[in-house]
Structures are given as C-alpha cells and as structure tokens.
Amino acid sequence: MMETIGDELLDQALAERRALVQLCLYALDRARSAGVVERIEEGLADIGVRAVRPDGARFDPSRHEAGGTVPTDDPTLDGVVAETEVVGFTDRERPLRPPVVTVYTARA
C-alpha cells in the first residue's frame, strides 16, 4: 500500500520529534544550571517525556541500570536505590533511557 502525503508528513514529524527529544537529553546531561535543567525537564514533560529518578524504590534490573553499590547495615535497605546517578527518561511510559543508580547492599 502506498503512503499518502499525510503519512509521509506524520513520519517526518515523528522522526523530527525523536531527534529533538534526543538533542534535549544531550543538552540536559551537560547543563550546569539547575534552572536550565528544570526548564528543559518541564518542556519535555509537556510533550510526555518524563524524568525517572527512582531514589528509595526497589532496584529493578529491567528498568534500572546499576552504576554502583553502597554498603548498609540496615537489612531493609538491601536492594533499594540509594541515589540516581544519571536521570532516566520515558516517552509516554515507553523507556527512552534507563536511570543509572547506586544501590544499597547489606554488609556481609
């Protein structure tokens, strides 16, 4: 089946949106100003791209990337995300980039 001009324009618009989202993530990773980071995150959220910071949540290897561990004497914290090292993002609930996190591990 042939694509119509409308289909071609939609495909082009979606490709351009993906490219702009990726450019925003690149800029966000390099932004030094908390105000700039906040504004970019707000703009992305307005179009359905949300930041993922799972601090305090149970580590889930299917949704999080472990960047490191930190020992804890509290056994209830074993396997819990201590800190988000690199913010992750979803686009309308679809993962764009997993957050890189530090995970608590119980001392032996």
Residue with the two structure tokens 């450019």: 23
Q: Is the pLDDT of residue 2 over 90?
A: no
Determine the topology of domain 51-108 in CATH: Nucleotide Exchange Factor Grpe; Chain A, domain 2 (2.30.22)
pLDDT tier at 1, thresholds 50, 70, 90: low
Q: How many CB atoms lie within 10 A of CB 75?
A: 10
DSSP 80: B
Where do the structural domains in the chain lie, given as residue ranges?
Answer: 1-47, 51-108
Q: What is the pLDDT of residue 36?
A: 96
Q: What is the pLDDT of residue 101?
A: 98
Q: In terms of residues, how long is the chain?
A: 108
> pLDDT by residue (tens digit) across 52-92?
999 999 999 999 999 999 999 999 999 999 999 999 999 99
Q: Is 42 helix (H, G, I), strand (E, B) or coil?
A: helix
> pLDDT by residue (tens digit) across 7-59?
999 999 999 999 999 999 999 999 999 999 999 999 999 999 999 999 999 99
Q: 7 exposed, middle or buried (CB, 10 Å; 0-12, 13-18, 19+)? A: exposed
Q: Give counts: helices (H), strands (E), the chain.
A: 2, 6
